[in-house]
Structure 1
């Protein structure tokens, strides 16, 4: 059993603020996370936290290595340290995913904020940004409310998909400029798998997003690193201070990746199906059509093309929607419908990247052309008639050839599953919600009745609701219910698919934020043209934790040459379907935007009619891709980003063992404190690390069975009382907080404690050497406030002979169980000796802290020195450039063939010489200004370095070891 001294010490240790570089700093956040963590993720989180003076870092791990998890660990740590002004800024399509991940994996409250939810909060008299939760915003909305964001001192802002802001230093990049300004005073954590896509200047852009004082201006950066003979080694050294990157091939020691195996499933449409395709294609290529709004025309055409390739029923429904819109235009004389493309995306649950494009257009108010004021009623009526005919033709087709091919595709896939021993489960992706419902009906009528689950953005079908309600009943009182329908219904549907279903038919809503490692068959019923989206789909199953090879089946329309070439391009150029790793970020990064790439392919579909035209256009696109991909794999990029940490394997191995030790010690101590504090109130099951508490200590704490946090989650137990639930027991749970607070407040008068090392399950050499000895010790809590608050628990101890004990020996002493403490007194001479030891220990700790902070100060000072050098260099380069121009002009003057030319050149030389004199005078002023600014920044850092300390004695005792 432990004593009240153990409990008090453990409670303070479990919640103390560690120094920035201490792996123990992450103990609480790692303990509270419901996710399997890999060492590179812990390394990345520590990198993000390491310097208290840093304005942020860039985490640039390759695709699929868990940057969201790394950011989640950091956010969790900030939350546990009561620094809760936290922000996540991401593309609109990822907002919900972020909120889900934070709540599910880290038990962190999150709220997605947009114009509507902000209005709702204001109606309730609440400040939208003043939440007791992590605030999640889209880029566009964050830019829109940049003034409000600027007014708040945020503790941390996570910026996901940060490469989208790589040109934020340019004045033309309005959103990037707005976010830079709004976030310039807070710490930032940038996430991207593709930090360098086409130019080294993109690294400059990302650096300035973090901190304006990392590099000088863009001209200095260009002259030092981008021009011929650039100092790439110097750039790599400067990047290493704020950019960290791990590649997939560096972590295979910890993460086992299975293979991908691709199967193409060809089908040949009937003549009616082909006639429908040609007729709709012809309609989409009309230069002036009322059916397609002029605003966002290309985006609307792209969506319609996706639906055309999906199913005849999806086409029919969309054609009817277009017809209704034209009838409204005819009857109400509406000029245009700016929300038409957005409503198509919402109705069909099409990929969110397209929604981002629309929001960006709205933000920039690029309304494009407007339709003529006078409506040509003859043309309008003719389009209404044609749409009706096309919709009727589409509906008359019934079950199309592609649908019938799905049954044989499933047979082929399930045969592969049987060979590998994988479960008989299939994940089918479609780009249309109409197709999704249609496929469900078809499959259930053809051998899969009761085995098909649907997953979409809304998940509001009667079947989904029934699964959700059943899941709620089954998990009542388990602590697994988040309370958000969006979060809980996603969990319910995935678990139903895992435990009961055979087929999950999903829209793009399942391409992100859903982990389905238990399934190893992915069927692209509709194949996106965006390779990033395809990679995300396959990544739902082919990811860490997958035990079997993943089979990927793609459908191919044999009567469509463009479809064939798209599949070839995605297969050969992007390596999406085969191999261990799938598409690498070098290849995916060769396209600036998946939507831009889709628009390129759309142009081919829209403009090329013959097989020869299609072939020529795709060859040109493929040649461009070859060039881009080759450029992405250049030696420059590899030198800069792929070799940051040559000793990565060794460091990760060390980090893994350190972290496991920390977590193990953390769990044991939390469990021991809980057993001690609730010994009279709870019944403990040590084997399963669980306890039952029928009468909790306060009304805010529910009665029930509590399990120490585990990745598998607690098993429900039958109980007659409906209020008696099963809960994950975390430090952040109200009961956990109660236990810790009560333990910290324990009354611990001086007593004799007999530590029993003989019964300790493992060897403790340091303590065993004390067997038969006795002495005294005191525990002091020391807090140091400098750049950040650091807390230490310092033991001061002596044995009966007056010899001092080391800190580590005392810590290990408290790993031993002890007999009940017996009241005693400590001789005055020993009290004086312990006070002196305590003071010495505190001074040494303060000195070490100062040394560590001095190191941070010197790193920050060096960064500012280099920044100043960059700016001076830029001024000197401008002077050198002018001198060079004068030399060239003088050479031209000597070669002039007539007086007019000579006179013109002499005038140019005079202007350049005047500019040179001005630059010579200005360079000293510029240098003085830069140095003055640098010194002011350094002075402010020096002021913050001043330490404030406070200490208090937690307890003193007499010890003996048996």
Structure 2
């Protein structure tokens, strides 16, 4: 039996007939075969012994009789075109997702990431650039190209729901959140090997048992949001790695494609940045000098950064309108000042005592109390009451708690609901008291403070609330109906503000961390459609988009500046049409307020010199490496006088601060030019070549007729699908993992994303389980018909010949798919050959089982030779050229790095 290229084989070693593309003899007794399944297009690479070969049958290729059912052949070939649509549409994922991406997003995905044969990439655009959108586009494109199935997304804990929601709503991609409950429910099994699309919290993933389970899994694509958190630092010759960095090393080893997302890649430390890139391609940049050379030469195949001010709409106008940040400075009333001083003295005393005894979590608990004090009288009163009641309860039981474990980094990244629970646990239970007598004295002091807070609250003199009312009057909120967003850290303050604002006659919506995702979405919709005011805790700063509002008040100021930038990003984002106004409320006769007021003055000064407002998330760098929180705690604990701390601001050299900001924001790395003309050109090409919704809809209707799917047109221009037969619903386990279940019926679907968006219909495009199941059923059932061929009539009477469809696959040296392309060739009546648009079948009328056909004799060998010479070679050269530049850059810096590491090793030996 002779097996050669082009042979069709049948045997027990694969579940379908396969077509051989390569044969290699391994000695006298074995043969290695490369082949593709005729039904599934799956790649097979078996090594067969002489005994195995005896069980294999060479199937004669069906002759081209051209008498198969024309409709079956049409549906089969059109299903091939649909599966290969990304080859003709340069922006295919855009066409089948419910998004309208911006030029910089298209550029990042299509001109940078997808140009890499093995994507290992850092996307470091400024906040608000839409990195989730770019990730979704990348996922869709890689899935359509058959390059990824298993996808892992690692994010800070508080962003899990946002990613889950955006992947589902915008890209119809179903992910599962894996947390401790999931792992406990799957005890004894590795959930990471069983689920194909997983979202995972970074700080959950870094735990030892989770890392151990992750190491046993492998992912086609891993995306890490806020990747800068996976940090390592070099001190002399020693590298200090955080636990998150160890997680990064594991992710790098278990992923084929790896994408890091961050808006703050290196915090002004080039070595820290180099170590982050080392997770993507280990050893490419052995030291900072080699990395700096690559940056200066604009040879950076690993990363892309664009600054907010460079981002543009398709018409070239700036993407983000200006934003103005103002500080509303006010003084507390006498009663408020008395309460503030009393609580701060209590915090100072017990904070310092806790630090002396190295009880850091007690000290941390007291800082929570100080933040509540700055938030509102209601918040501090309720916090003091809860602490008083719990400590009293412990005293009556004759015990007290001084320590229990917590991780401040982990606490910062928890979802707000969890963070509140942990903070309350710390605040209500921990004490610096070491004897019951000390505990009794502390409880008595708390009772005094509670009474003082109640007295202030009873007088209803909250200066900050009066200042808020002035904002309402100045901006004529009531008269104009302008929407306003108010942020606070405390749920108690939120409830207080909602009460007050409603009593003033305003319609108010609210969002806080105790609400589920569905409740938050409803609150967002209520604010958009009905309510004039939204009051939100930090939960509203995560994953909620409110660009229809342009006024915002920070009723209290978070000590973590990143949260301040997150809050502002809810309204200062793409889609905002107004200049954004943000007000920070600061009591300047308090210790923290005095520092914040002076800081905001300095930031305003630097911002005007910089010509940009991107200073809030780099406050630590403006302060020369000190954190805002550290400065405030120094003031609260009286470690330094306020005068001394305020002199720190006077000592800030504006030029040095500007340089630090530019370094930290990686201005030197930024790609300042976006190739708008290229994007517009590809957009026009996409419109010309994409599978328009009408074609997909018509294909589905014709398939439905053939496969007995019952569908009815609705009055709103959508479709009701009343019955999907079992043969289509009966999909494999792998299909269900990849696309989801196919339902028996669908109440409202549309094949047009604009109609789907307007009518809230289910959008059916590639990736939707129903359409994928129909395409798969057609390819399984009608492949034989396509092999035989069918006869079509040209209504125009111009065509008389044979149309050939050839699917070509090019593989690289690692035997991985480098590219695929579908060619259609027209063999004329005189046997001459030319390429033709694969969509030509839409212009022809299929005939059923006809004996009439063209008199042209099929010449398969000539067609294959024509495609290789005129199509494949050119395509191969395109692929080679794209890979060559990236390979040359990696080779250049890889060799330099290798030489550097050898030299370093030699010096150590000497």
Place the TM-score, normalised by the shorter chain, in its bin: 0.7 to 0.9
2:645 corresponds in structure 1 to 617
2:677 corresponds in structure 1 to 650
Residue 550, structure 1, aligned to residue 580, structure 2: yes
Match of 2:399 among 333, 341, 344: 333
Residue 319, structure 1, aligned to residue 384, structure 2: yes
Q: Secondary structure at the match of 1:777?
A: strand
Residue 204, structure 1, aligned to residue 274, structure 2: yes
Match of 1:63 among 127, 130, 142: 127
Cα pair distance change 1:709/1:133, threshold 3 Å = farther
Would the aligned equivalents of 1:775 and 1:800 in 2 still touch at CA under 8 Å? yes
- CA-CA distance at 1:166 after TM superposition: 4.1
- CA-CA distance at 1:57 after TM superposition: 0.6
- CA-CA distance at 1:114 after TM superposition: 2.9
Would the aligned equivalents of 1:91 and 1:356 in 2 still touch at CA under 8 Å? no
Residue 704, structure 1, aligned to residue 747, structure 2: yes
1:793 corresponds in structure 2 to 822
2:496 corresponds in structure 1 to 438
Q: Secondary structure at the match of 2:691?
A: helix
- CA-CA distance at 1:196 after TM superposition: 3.6
CA distance in structure 1 between the aligned counterparts of 2:492 and 2:281, rounded to whole angstroms: 48
CA distance in structure 2 between the aligned counterparts of 1:627 and 1:250, rounded to whole angstroms: 23
Match of 2:201 among 122, 133, 137: 137
Residue 675, structure 1, aligned to residue 727, structure 2: no
Q: Secondary structure at the match of 1:201?
A: helix
Cα pair distance change 1:810/1:849, threshold 3 Å = closer
1:74 corresponds in structure 2 to 138
1:383-432 C-alpha deviation (Å, 9 max, x unpaired): 1011111012112222342464266246336526966xxx5322111110
Cα pair distance change 1:377/1:638, threshold 3 Å = closer
Cα pair distance change 1:579/1:868, threshold 3 Å = closer
1:924 corresponds in structure 2 to none
Cα pair distance change 1:658/1:277, threshold 3 Å = farther
Match of 1:248 among 294, 302, 308: 308
- CA-CA distance at 1:829 after TM superposition: 5.8
Cα pair distance change 1:237/1:183, threshold 3 Å = farther
Q: Secondary structure at the match of 2:186?
A: helix
Cα pair distance change 1:275/1:266, threshold 3 Å = same
Cα pair distance change 1:348/1:863, threshold 3 Å = closer
Would the aligned equivalents of 1:575 and 1:582 in 2 still touch at CA under 8 Å? no
- CA-CA distance at 1:233 after TM superposition: 4.5
CA distance in structure 1 between the aligned counterparts of 2:300 and 2:496, rounded to whole angstroms: 53
Cα pair distance change 1:852/1:550, threshold 3 Å = same
Q: Secondary structure at the match of 1:665?
A: coil
Cα pair distance change 1:441/1:259, threshold 3 Å = same
CA distance in structure 2 between the aligned counterparts of 1:619 and 1:648, rounded to whole angstroms: 46
Would the aligned equivalents of 1:110 and 1:136 in 2 still touch at CA under 8 Å? no
Cα pair distance change 1:506/1:406, threshold 3 Å = farther
Matches within 5 A, 1:435-584: 435-448=493-506, 451-459=507-515, 486-560=516-590, 562-570=592-600, 572-573=602-603, 583-584=613-614
Match of 2:857 among 830, 834, 843: 830
Match of 1:629 among 657, 665, 683: 657
2:769 corresponds in structure 1 to 734
Match of 1:753 among 781, 792, 809: 792
- CA-CA distance at 1:282 after TM superposition: 0.5
CA distance in structure 1 between the aligned counterparts of 2:854 and 2:684, rounded to whole angstroms: 43
- CA-CA distance at 1:284 after TM superposition: 0.8
Would the aligned equivalents of 2:155 and 2:201 in 1 still touch at CA under 8 Å? yes
How many residue pairs get matched?
798
Residue 868, structure 1, aligned to residue 895, structure 2: yes
CA distance in structure 2 between the aligned counterparts of 1:804 and 1:614, rounded to whole angstroms: 86
Q: Secondary structure at the match of 1:505?
A: strand
Cα pair distance change 1:180/1:814, threshold 3 Å = same
Moved more, 618-627 or 506-515: 618-627
CA distance in structure 2 between the aligned counterparts of 1:531 and 1:869, rounded to whole angstroms: 39
Would the aligned equivalents of 2:295 and 2:669 in 1 still touch at CA under 8 Å? no
Residue 195, structure 1, aligned to residue 262, structure 2: no
CA distance in structure 2 between the aligned counterparts of 1:397 and 1:458, rounded to whole angstroms: 28
1:886 corresponds in structure 2 to none
Cα pair distance change 1:320/1:634, threshold 3 Å = closer
Would the aligned equivalents of 2:391 and 2:443 in 1 still touch at CA under 8 Å? yes
Match of 2:251 among 183, 196, 204: 183
- CA-CA distance at 1:310 after TM superposition: 0.9
2:108 corresponds in structure 1 to 44
CA-based RMSD of the aligned residues comes to 4.3
Would the aligned equivalents of 1:89 and 1:138 in 2 still touch at CA under 8 Å? yes
Would the aligned equivalents of 1:542 and 1:550 in 2 still touch at CA under 8 Å? yes
1:643-662 C-alpha deviation (Å, 9 max, x unpaired): x4646333333344344445
Residue 691, structure 1, aligned to residue 754, structure 2: no
Residue 381, structure 1, aligned to residue 440, structure 2: yes
- CA-CA distance at 1:68 after TM superposition: 1.8
Moved more, 536-545 or 328-337: 328-337
- CA-CA distance at 1:573 after TM superposition: 1.3
2:456 corresponds in structure 1 to 397
Cα pair distance change 1:447/1:687, threshold 3 Å = closer
Would the aligned equivalents of 1:777 and 1:797 in 2 still touch at CA under 8 Å? yes
Residue 150, structure 1, aligned to residue 215, structure 2: yes
Q: Secondary structure at the match of 2:128?
A: coil
Moved more, 271-280 or 856-865: 856-865
2:31 corresponds in structure 1 to none
- CA-CA distance at 1:317 after TM superposition: 1.4
Q: Secondary structure at the match of 1:296?
A: helix
- CA-CA distance at 1:545 after TM superposition: 0.8
Would the aligned equivalents of 1:427 and 1:522 in 2 still touch at CA under 8 Å? yes
1:232-270 C-alpha deviation (Å, 9 max, x unpaired): 454444752111122223322435422334455454432
Cα pair distance change 1:453/1:121, threshold 3 Å = farther
Residue 274, structure 1, aligned to residue 274, structure 2: no
CA distance in structure 2 between the aligned counterparts of 1:824 and 1:250, rounded to whole angstroms: 64
Match of 2:165 among 94, 100, 105: 100
Would the aligned equivalents of 1:53 and 1:860 in 2 still touch at CA under 8 Å? no
1:474-511 C-alpha deviation (Å, 9 max, x unpaired): xxxxxxxxxxxx33222222112222222221110011
CA distance in structure 1 between the aligned counterparts of 2:452 and 2:597, rounded to whole angstroms: 28
CA distance in structure 1 between the aligned counterparts of 2:490 and 2:612, rounded to whole angstroms: 25
Moved more, 584-593 or 323-332: 584-593
CA distance in structure 1 between the aligned counterparts of 2:409 and 2:894, rounded to whole angstroms: 49
Cα pair distance change 1:72/1:812, threshold 3 Å = closer
CA distance in structure 1 between the aligned counterparts of 2:384 and 2:423, rounded to whole angstroms: 23
Unaligned runs of 5+ in 2: 1-69, 730-742
- CA-CA distance at 1:346 after TM superposition: 11
Unaligned runs of 5+ in 1: 226-231, 363-369, 460-485, 718-725, 758-770, 883-914, 920-962
